Structure 1
Amino acid sequence: MEIELWVIAALTLVAVFTGFLDAVAGGGGLVMMPTLLFAGLPPQLALGTNKVQSVAGTSMAFRNYAHAGLVEWRKEKWLALIAFTFAAVGSLLVQQISVRVLNLVVPLLLMGVAAYVIFSPRMDDSKSHEVLSRKGYAPVAGSIGFYDGFFGPGTGSFFAASLVGLRGEGLTSATGHAKLFNMCTNLAAVLVFALGGKVIWMLGIAMACGSMTGSWLGSRFAVKHGAKVIRPLLVTISLLLTAKLLYNWFFPA
């Protein structure tokens, strides 16, 4: 599929913005996926190409969070591997199965995330007692990883909120670990979509450069300002994703 250079340039600029959003609170796909479809990409090519820029952006964000000492990646490597594995399975299945049912289920989950962030007294950078151990969190990491490979919107929000609520992490640290897991789930999806020939590499690489730029800016911004910025953005992104998915359900294209 051939894409004009001005379209590639425009999508790269959009990737800068979505990379910033993803690095702070997740939800960049809310903007990027409709933009790719509007540019004329078939759905599966849009999914695969979007994952190329996503893995670049989350990798840059992870690097900045880790550099700030907010990610214990050695301790979390097995959870990251579990998320990677289940994301690969999800990416295989999404090429075979309709995802329409998720357009109704996911908004309910996202509304739950938004409500938790709004009403929980501890969605800040303080730590608390963990409900689940690292091993106990493994099924959660696997489930969210599978979801990201299969569908995707809100993955970063699900990881961050569950790490705060179940692992007792502070919000900024949870966001950093969410980038580690999301980087792995995106990488798994890229490998599967690439093997299936569902990636436009020239566009994906250009967008990856834009996403890395936005993620570098966004992650540094989040590290500097912490939960006071992440919390309202997490709520906003969750509610916007909810509205978009409900709209898609009732008014399908």
Structure 2
Amino acid sequence: MELLVVSLASLLAGFVDSIVGGGGLILMPALFATFPNAAPATLLGTNKATSIWGTAMATLQYSRRVTLPWHALLPAAGAGFVASLGGAWLVTQVSPDFLRKFMPVLLVAVLIYTLAKKELGRHHAPRFSGGFEVAVACGIGAVVGFYDGFFGPGTGSFFVFLIVRLLGYDFLHASASAKLLNTATNLSALILFSFKGHVWWHFAVFMAVANVAGSLLGTHMALKHGTGFVRGAFLLVVSALICKTAYDAFLR
């Protein structure tokens, strides 16, 4: 029964995550509710071992239909990988609790800004090219990658927002790009968790299959319905993240 519950949660998480990020909003609470006595690090590691397959599959699916700026994204993925390791190391030295009350405020600002800028991310108009685009992309990868290793909630959504806002991509291209960067940060964290023995592989294998199935469905819908659909999903996920992070910070 436990495997069935977390596999269904993983299926839904893969679906949401492939569109705009935020799958952890579904899978992590399911893991903590199903295994209340497990070590948090083990559940976090199992989540990474599961979600990395969905994000990797989404990256592959998007790359077949959406033209991605690999010259900028590959270095950015490398920056995210290294920064995520740094963040994961720092969290072993310093508690991230101080971020809990800041997160809902930041997410509210992202939501308000996106709603106010009605044309934000509706048209694909890259703002930079060449080395400067690479530099900005690497900056995004490094900042969000470090955050993912150190704290984590909303990583995919932050990637999408910053790619739209700073690089000028539409939401569909931004979501596709974010999947590659998120795969790199997930891999970085997974290596660390695996090295420390914090992965339940006997659960992760089945959950990964479900996550990939959800990811394939979500990617298909995003490609079929385009930027407007992804933008709407982004607003919905950010709203849900605000509720979740506010509850964790102020009510729990």
TM-score tier, shorter chain, comes to over 0.9
Give the Cα separation in 2 of the matches to 1:77 and 1:151: 23
- The yes-or-no answer on 1:19 pairing with 2:14 is yes
Give the Cα separation in 2 of the matches to 1:220 and 1:71: 17
> Unmatched 5+ residue regions in structure 1?
1-5
* Partner in structure 1 of residue 144 of structure 2: 144
Q: Give the SS at the match of 1:16.
A: helix
Aligned residues between the structures: 247
> Cα deviations across residues 103-124 of structure 1 (Å, max 9, x unaligned)?
1122122112212221213334
| Residue identity in the other structure for 2:144 | I
* Partner in structure 2 of residue 104 of structure 1: 101
> Unmatched 5+ residue regions in structure 2?
none
> Cα deviations across residues 47-105 of structure 1 (Å, max 9, x unaligned)?
11101111011001111100113323344211110011111111222234322112112
* Partner in structure 1 of residue 235 of structure 2: 235
Contact 1:44 1:95 in 2 (8 A): no
Structure with a larger share of its residues in helix = 2
Tell me the TM-score normalized by structure 2: 0.92
* Partner in structure 1 of residue 5 of structure 2: 10
- The yes-or-no answer on 1:59 pairing with 2:56 is yes
| Residue identity in the other structure for 2:24 | G
* Partner in structure 2 of residue 88 of structure 1: 85
| Residue identity in the other structure for 1:196 | K
Give the Cα separation in 2 of the matches to 1:15 and 1:146: 24
Q: How does 1:73-222 map to 2 (within 5 A)?
A: 73-128=70-125, 130=127, 133-222=133-222
Give the Cα separation in 1 of the matches to 2:71 and 2:61: 16
Give the Cα separation in 2 of the matches to 1:186 and 1:200: 16
Q: Give the SS at the match of 2:46.
A: helix
Give the Cα separation in 2 of the matches to 1:96 and 1:49: 22
* Partner in structure 2 of residue 36 of structure 1: 31
CA RMSD after TM alignment: 1.6
